Amino acid sequence: MAALPKRIIKETERLSKEPVPGISAVPHDDNLRYFDVTIDGPAQSPYEGTLLPPFGGVFKLELFLPDDYPMTPPKVRFLTKIYHPNIDRLGRICLDVLKSNWSPALQIRTILLSIQALLGAPNPDDPLANDVAQQWKEDQNQAIATAKEWTEKFAKA
Amino acid sequence: MDSDDDFNSSQASGDDFLDDQDSDLGLEDDSDFDMDQDDVGFESQDKDMGPRKQAYEVDFKVFDPQQIQGSQDRQIDEVSSILGQPPEATAILLRHLRWNKERLIDRYMDNQEEILESAGLGETAANNPPKISKVAGFVCDICCEDDPSLDTFAMKCGHRFCVECYRQYLYTKIKEEGEAARIRCPGDGCNRIVDSKSLDLLVAEELRDRYHELLTRTYVDDKDNLRWCPAPNCVYAVECGVKNKDLMQIVPTVHCECSHDFCFGCSLNDHQPAPCALVKMWLKKCEDDSETANWISANTKECPKCNSTIEKNGGCNHMTCRKCRHEFCWMCMGVWSEHGTSWYNCNRFEEKSGSEARDAQAKSRMSLERYLHYYNRYANHEQSAKLDKDIYLKTEKKMQQLQNTTGMSWIEVQYLDTASQALQQCRQTLKWTYAFAYYLARNNLTEIFEDNQKDLEMAVENLSEMFEKPVDQLQGLKVDMMDKTSYCTKRRVILLNDTAENLKLGNWEFNVKFS
Ligand SMILES: [Zn+2]
Ligand SMILES: [Zn+2]
Ligand SMILES: [Zn+2]
Ligand SMILES: [Zn+2]
Ligand SMILES: [Zn+2]
Ligand SMILES: [Zn+2]
């Protein structure tokens, strides 16, 4: 395997030395471009954990840095099932900074923060999961209830 | 005065003649009437007027790369003289505003400085041409290098990166993403466009060529009335005036110089008579239901009489079992003799009675059955078109051998080629008539449509059958085949004109809403 670029080494160092609250990203020992990620659901969102059991609200993701990173964005996917209009059944995320608005000056930490913000502000007008987005538009209260239910059921710490 | 009299008298007698014609023959087209052709038949009259445009046809023009470059240059020159800017700067301004000439002139007159600035051509840009420099204490945000000898670059926005990263960024954008006219600054959230002067400074010559090639492409991409021919490796573009909002009233099929027929509205292969939105919905449905539908498009079926397996090898639907000689229809598996002359029950899905539909389960099965009915026929014509072509290619080969032995000339076997092409075109149309019919509400108009569809289908199967005749018989069937070919083409024109006219008038009633 080619030597790891300085950029990736620096980013990884900083992620462990100055971690972002509510977010962790740890590279695999055998593949330093592959990260195990967890994101805590933001407070006051349907993805927030509870103070008492079952707690919940911790979402697992995987993140991979392709060879031409940072010219192309990292590949990120939810591993925990989540009910969200911009995240589909396979955990793929519809987020502009992961696509057309990616800039090589962005970093793993900024991307993960954007994903956390997306949990706090679902956008059913730019959906990836069409059925969820529809539900979100038609009956928002019901959709939020379902999102909470899924959070309790699947997003356990 | 004399000439006036002449004119008047000829006009008068012409009107008389017309009146006669109107009542006797129902001649509708009075505008092309010509006194000198009193006793000329309709056919030669049509010839004199040249090929008439059919209701389903649209006006279009094909451009080669030189013509595209030429019209681009002309526009640049024209705007350049209006704005008093050099052509190079005008080109940047035009691309910046997606070749919207009027908007550019408006905005330029409104606030010259602002538009120049936003296109990267501002006063400051002119006085400070882009340059590469070394900056003390600089750390590149992309590669994290901080060597003081690092060459760096920034546009006016001040987002500074090392030249190596900038280059790699531009390489990715141009080579891999095919962007040119609107590459943004690599800085996060920065909307500044990388202007061509900065680009020329940063990238290698080889990439510069590609960049200018892509810039030319944006001319066609940005113009609503121009579209690249989607055929692989084709370099032509087509101009057509049909707008997006018209696409429920017209199906704009255009024909490229490379012989590819495609839809100007959506770039897909010719899909007459179905409008783009219907095509999109149908293709989506087929994709979603492909698992259920796959089994039907399979290539083998069992003989309904002796159950031996039969493989379809020609495009014709008239099947004869090799084992028991039973003749049947591939589409409905019904006895062929009941079809032969009246190809019935085969294009039309008979809606079942209401009693069955009351049951919810039966209803959903009905809707699947209904879909499968149309999908089956749609897929069948697609498949048959391929088989027709295969068999034609084989026939052509055999004909060439025959040519050598009988001394028939090349021109004499051209009718086979013509027949094969007509067959392909008609199958393509038939295929889409089934998608069209699937979405049609049941009414009189639909009945007429299905009759036209049935007639075309019958004509096509009759012609397709000819190709399955032994090659040594084909020579004697030349006239018959030419007749059948022109009949097919005629039926296609009738069907397409009928659908196009009613589409234009908004007469079709669909059972869904197309967004
Ligand atoms: Zn750099
Ligand atoms: Zn910038
Ligand atoms: Zn072409
Ligand atoms: Zn189309
Ligand atoms: Zn049989
Ligand atoms: Zn049949």
The ipTM value here is 0.83
Type of residue numbered A114: S
Say if the Cβ atoms of B188 and A106 lie within 8 Å. yes
Question: What integer is the mean pLDDT of A123-138?
Answer: 81
Q: Residues B174, B168: contact at Cβ < 8 Å?
A: no
CA dist list (Å): B162 to B146, B165, B186:
9, 5, 11
H/E segment holding residue B141: none
Q: Which of B143, B159, B169 sits opposite A7 (nearest CB)?
A: B143
3-state helix, strand, coil in chain A (%, to 5): 35, 15, 50
What CA–CA distance (Å, rounded) separates B263 from B429?
A: 13
Res A78: pLDDT: 95
* SS3 per-residue string spanning B253-275: EEECCCCCEEECCCCCECCCCCC
CA dist list (Å): A3 to A9, A31, B138, B171:
10, 12, 24, 22
Sheet containing strand B237-240, edge to edge, reads B60-63, B237-240, B226-228
Res B352: pLDDT: 43
Which of the 8 DSSP states describes residue B155?
A: -
Suggest the residue from B163, B166, B188 to mutate for an interface test with chain A (most A CBs closer than 10 A). B188
- Exposed, middle or buried, B176 (CB in 10 Å: 0-12/13-18/19+)? exposed
Res B21: pLDDT: 35
Tokens of B80: 């350049």
On whether any CB of chain B is under 8 Å from the CB of A31, the answer is: no
A7: chain B residues, CB-CB within 8 Å:
142-144
Q: Residues B228, B218: contact at Cβ < 8 Å?
A: no
Q: Which of A7, A10, A104 sits opposite B169 (nearest CB)?
A: A104
* Helix (H/G/I), strand (E/B), else coil: B302: strand
Q: How far is the CA of A98 from the centre of ligand 1 (A)?
A: 21
Query: How close A102 comes to chain B (CA, Å)?
Result: 8
A96: chain B residues, CB-CB within 8 Å:
none
Res B388: pLDDT: 84
This model's pTM is above 0.80: no
A71: chain B residues, CB-CB within 8 Å:
168-169, 172
Residue A88: CA count within 13 A, CB half-sphere:
11
| Contacts across the A-B interface (CB distance below 8 Å) | 34
Q: Which of B143, B172, B188 sits opposite A5 (nearest CB)?
A: B143
Say if the Cβ atoms of A6 and B143 lie within 8 Å. yes
Say if the Cβ atoms of A105 and B145 lie within 8 Å. no
3-state helix, strand, coil in chain B (%, to 5): 55, 10, 35
Quickly list DSSP for B334-390.
-BGGGTSSS--SSS-PPPPPHHHHHSHHHHHHHHHHHHHHHHHHHHHHHHHHHHHHH
Q: How far is the CA of B190 from the centre of ligand 2 (A)?
A: 5
Type of residue numbered B319: M
* SS3 per-residue string spanning B381-396: HHHHHHHHHHHHHHHH
Q: Which of B162, B316, B321, B329 is the catalytic position? A: B316
On whether any CB of chain B is under 8 Å from the CB of A105, the answer is: yes
Say if the Cβ atoms of A104 and B189 lie within 8 Å. no
On whether any CB of chain B is under 8 Å from the CB of A113, the answer is: no
Q: Residues B388, B427: contact at Cβ < 8 Å?
A: yes
The pLDDT tens digits along chain B (515 residues) read: 343 433 333 333 333 333 333 333 333 333 333 333 333 333 333 334 446 789 999 999 999 988 988 988 999 999 999 998 888 789 888 988 889 999 999 999 999 988 887 776 766 556 677 889 999 999 999 999 999 999 999 988 899 999 999 999 999 999 888 888 778 899 998 888 887 778 888 988 888 888 888 887 888 888 889 999 999 889 899 999 999 999 999 999 999 999 899 999 999 999 999 999 999 999 988 877 664 544 444 455 667 777 776 766 566 667 777 778 888 777 777 777 766 554 444 564 544 433 343 354 455 556 777 888 898 899 999 999 888 888 888 877 877 776 777 666 666 678 888 998 999 999 999 999 999 999 999 999 999 999 999 999 999 999 999 888 887 787 788 899 999 999 999 999 999 999 999 999 999 999 999 86
What CA–CA distance (Å, rounded) separates B318 from A29?
A: 66
Any bridge partners for residue B319, and if so which? B328
Query: How close A104 comes to chain B (CA, Å)?
Result: 6
Say if the Cβ atoms of B187 and A105 lie within 8 Å. yes
Res B301: pLDDT: 66
Q: Which of B142, B168, B172 sits opposite A105 (nearest CB)?
A: B142
- Give the phi and the psi of residue A84 in degrees, each rounded to 5: -155, 135
Q: How far is the CA of B185 from the centre of ligand 2 (A)?
A: 5
What CA–CA distance (Å, rounded) separates B465 from B475?
A: 15
On whether any CB of chain B is under 8 Å from the CB of A5, the answer is: yes
Residue B425: CA count within 13 A, CB half-sphere:
21
- Exposed, middle or buried, B510 (CB in 10 Å: 0-12/13-18/19+)? middle
Say if the Cβ atoms of B161 and A105 lie within 8 Å. yes
Res B16: pLDDT: 36
Query: How close B168 comes to chain A (CA, Å)?
Result: 8
Q: How far is the CA of B276 from the centre of ligand 4 (A)?
A: 4
Any bridge partners for residue B253, and if so which? B263
- Give the ligand at the shortest distance from the Cα of B263: 4
Q: How far is the CA of A9 from the centre of ligand 1 (A)?
A: 14
Any bridge partners for residue A63, and if so which? A35, A76
Q: How far is the CA of B277 from the centre of ligand 4 (A)?
A: 7
Res B33: pLDDT: 35
Q: Which of A5, A72, A103 sits opposite B186 (nearest CB)?
A: A103
A109: chain B residues, CB-CB within 8 Å:
none
Say if the Cβ atoms of A6 and B141 lie within 8 Å. no
